[in-house]
Amino acid sequence: MWLPHFISALLCISHLTLYANATFLWFPYKVEGDLASDVMTSRPPASLPPRGSKAGTGRRTKGASSSSSPPPVTVDEALQYFSTRFVSSKTTMKQRQSMLVKSIAYLVHNDFAPEKLKEWTDALAKTSGPGAVGEEIAIVTHGFYTLLLKYPGEDIKNSVLRAKMTEWLDEAKFCLARPLLNAPNLSVWSRELFKPERGFSPQLQGWSTLNNLLIQFNEQNLRSLRMSISERDFSGVARNLEVIKEIFSSQPPTPLSSHTRVAALALLFHAMHIASPEVQTKAVDTATSLLGERRFFLFEHERTLLDKFTNDYVLDRPGKQIPI
């Protein structure tokens, strides 16, 4: 039997590329501005909070504003803005998606007390209503996974996220059962979450489109591996595959986005099909290690996806997925 299944623990950005301990925290969406700036812009002049008021429970990770700057956005103010604007009949689908992206970035880039984190996750979970589209569901889902990776050792916050994630995935699967959202209509970054047993979406299955996505949105964590594959530098590919193990280590050096992890698996898939015995062996060995060793951690959808394309390759199964 090849690569047995292991029980997986359960623990969706922009040109706005966030940093985490000198490593890019990457989200593949193009969005102008950020949530805090939008909140400040929306403030009526008469409603500006008095200077010196506390900034709420959400603690900004950047330096404090100068005396000439407007008061910082409080966590409650940001949440109120999101909750009100998102459901407004004047908010378009494109604007809703932009708000979700900016809100996920805001949550990842700031620290929150558990009770405030719960309020935010409750608000995000309410976005899966009748009008929700697949892209919105994917953004929130990737966001939840990214937040779980942000708080791996903080039991209270992780518990808040795990509880909401369980509810959200049940609701997301129900929403995605609607005909227009069901696979194979799921877009890139969605199919890998909700239908991993079917393999990668065409955009990640195709080398040209995957390569362009990583370049367009400036993914830096995988740059060396991507360039080695693109340049057909086989020894470089074999050497740079080590980054895959670093990304999926159960003790990652820095938080990474859910999107980076899926993109890493896509690069491993493409490396597995390079016409080089050295690279093929290293890619299969990497996949085997990720699936079988406790020092690596994968979410359930990641494990299913990795298991699918590895078994496709090793067992040469009929109808296997190959690069296009």
Look up tokens 């670093």; give the residue.
246
- DSSP secondary structure code for residue 18 in this structure: E
**What letter does residue 198 receive in the DSSP assignment?**
G
- pLDDT for residue 59: 52
Kindly report, residue by residue over 246-276, the tens digit of the pLDDT: 999 988 656 789 999 999 999 999 999 999 9
**Class of residue 204 by CB neighbours under 10 A (exposed 0-12, middle 13-18, buried 19+):** buried
The token pair that represents 55 in the structure block: 């900034």
Q: What pLDDT digit, counting tens, does each position of 25-64 carry?
A: 898 988 889 999 999 999 987 555 555 544 445 554 444 4
In angstroms, what CA-CA distances link 84 with 46, 65, 77, 79? Answer: 19, 26, 11, 8
Distance CA 319, CA 29 (A): 32
Question: Is pLDDT larger for residue 74 or for residue 171?
Answer: 74
Rg (CA), the chain: 21
- Rounded Cα–Cα distance for residues 66 and 160 (Å): 34
Longest Cα–Cα distance of the chain, Å, equals: 69
Domains and CATH numbers, the chain: 72-184 (1.20.870), 189-315 (no CATH)
Which residues lie across from 110 on neighbouring strands?
Answer: 60
How much is the pTM?
0.84
User: What's the confidence (pLDDT) of residue 47?
Assistant: 52
Nearest by Cα to 248 from 196, 296, 303 = 296
Q: Which two tokens stand for residue 112?
A: 């929150």
pLDDT of residue 300: 96
Grouping H, G, I as helix, E, B as strand and the rest as coil, residue 81 is helix
- Higher pLDDT: 180 or 201? It is 201
CA distances from 202 to 186, 187, 244 (A): 10, 9, 21
Residue-level pLDDT at 13 = 33
